[in-house]
Structure formats: C-alpha cells, structure tokens
Amino acid sequence: MPVSRSVLVTGGNRGIGLAIARAFAEAGDRVAVTYRSGEPPEGLLGVKCDITDSEQVEQAFKEIEAAQGPVEVLVANAGITRDTLLLRMSEEDFSSVLDTNLTGTFRVVKRATKGMLRARKGRVVLISSVVGLLGSAGQANYAASKAGLVGFARSVARELGSRNITCNVVAPGFVDTDMTAVLSEDRRAEIVSQVPLGRYASPAEIASAVRFLSSDEAAYITGAVIPVDGGLGMGH
C-alpha cells in the first residue's frame, strides 16, 4: 500500500494541472490545488491563491498545512501566455509573464521547501515547456520564463540535494487545453506537422511524467529536464 502524501499543484483547477492533481488523488495522495476564481474541482482541497502575491502564497500554505500537513510534493504548474511579436511586446507583457511563470514558481518553491527541509525529504516538479529551449516566434516572454525555470530547478537541485529533496522539470510540447484552444486551425496543423508523433498530448500524458518524478522509482533523478513533447524538441 503506497503512503499517502501531501501534494500541492498550483493551477490545479483546470488543464494540465487538474490532470496532474487527479492522477495523484487517484493514487491515494492528499491533494490541494490553487484556484483564483469560480469553484475548485470536487474531491480536491481548493485554496484560493494568486501566485503573483506572496501574502496569498503564505496564506495558502497555512491552509494546506492545517488541512493535510506540510507539502511533501510540489508541482509548480500555474502559468500564462501573452503572445505577441517582440516589437509589439510591452514591458507589461514581458514582466507579467515572468512574474507568474518564473517569480511565481520561485515564491511557491521557496515556501514549500521550508517544510521539506524540516522533513529532510521532498519532491519538486516544475512545468516548463518545449518552447523554453526551442524558442518560438511571438513568445519571447513565455520562452524566457520557461527557460529560466531550468536554471532555477538545477540550482535548487544542487542546493537541496543533500537534504533528500529533488527538483526536476517537465517540458511538455503542445497539449490540448484552454491555453492552446486559442490557436487557429492553421497554426495547429502547422505545429502537428512538426511533431514526430503527429498529434497533441493529452493532459494525462504530462501527468504520468510528473507522477513518475515524484515517485520512489525516481529517487535518484534530480536537476533533469524531461521532455513530454512527441519528439518536437529532440536535440535540445
């Protein structure tokens, strides 16, 4: 019988995050998800939290700790896009994406590792993107934030490895969610034509890699970047 762990998935109320949260819950873990508006999904502990606000992050962790114990597995998944070409990209377009995707991840990882250091164990998985290493026209802000996660994860892996805390990155390719639903049919077809497996991923396929990196089987993997991209980013 596997041990039930206290898990937090940021942005676990929909899309890839929800698939990750459900996968942990199905395996018997106690799972909290952050959400910003509306209702949290049934069967999961919903904590209201905008990761651009340190106070809200602190409050969310207090609620989670009281309800299901200190976070043992953190999945930093929340992220946004604000796509536009470089010459049209405002400083606000750039900094808001960095503030959510990179600094937001820093805020939750910093807070979660406090408890993990005390417990002398923990798992951190950051959701990056194939675009972080491949680059993407119209996504300079997003790609910069996702590439930043790699350097961040590897630094955390070096700092906290001796305390039995692993920190890894999952880099999905194109996944069917609200984030990609905004792309035109032409753009979708163009993307699929470049993916060796010839299709988008399902959110559950990303969740499988995250669950593996958080499992006992992955105890000796840290600082890794695992692509789940149908071969799109091969060579990076």
Ligand X SMILES: NC(=O)c1ccc[n+]([C@@H]2O[C@H](COP(=O)([O-])OP(=O)(O)OC[C@H]3O[C@@H](n4cnc5c(N)ncnc54)[C@H](OP(=O)(O)O)[C@@H]3O)[C@@H](O)[C@H]2O)c1
Asked if 34 interacts with ligand X (CB under 6 A), we say: yes
Span from 28-36, 60-68, 107-115, 133-141 in contact with ligand X (CB under 6 A) = 28-36
Q: How far is the CB of 207 from ligand X (least distance, A)?
A: 11
Q: How far is the CB of 189 from ligand X (least distance, A)?
A: 15
Give the separation between CA 65 and CA 102, rounded to whole angstroms. 24
Give the separation between CA 65 and CA 6, rounded to whole angstroms. 9
Phi-psi region of 26 (alpha: psi -120 to 50; beta: other; left: phi over 0): alpha
Annotated active-site residue in 35, 142, 200, 220: 142
Q: How far is the CB of 126 from ligand X (least distance, A)?
A: 9
For the CA atoms of 85, 140, 76, 51, the dihedral, rounded to the nearest 10 degrees, stands at -60
Per-residue exposure over 61-86, b if at least 16 CB sit within 10 Å of its own CB, e if not:
beebeeebebbbbbbbbbbbbbbeee
State how far Cα 214 lies from the chain centre: 13
Residues 129-188 that bind ligand X (CB under 6 A): 129, 172, 174-175, 177-180
Q: Between 178 and 186, whose beta carbon lies closer to ligand X? A: 178
Encoded amino acid at 11, one letter: G
Per-residue interface string for the shown chain with ligand X, residues 104-133, x marking contact by CB under 6 A = x----------------------x-x----
Q: Between 87 and 182, whose beta carbon lies closer to ligand X? A: 182
- 142 as an active site residue: the answer is yes
Catalogue the active-site residues: 142
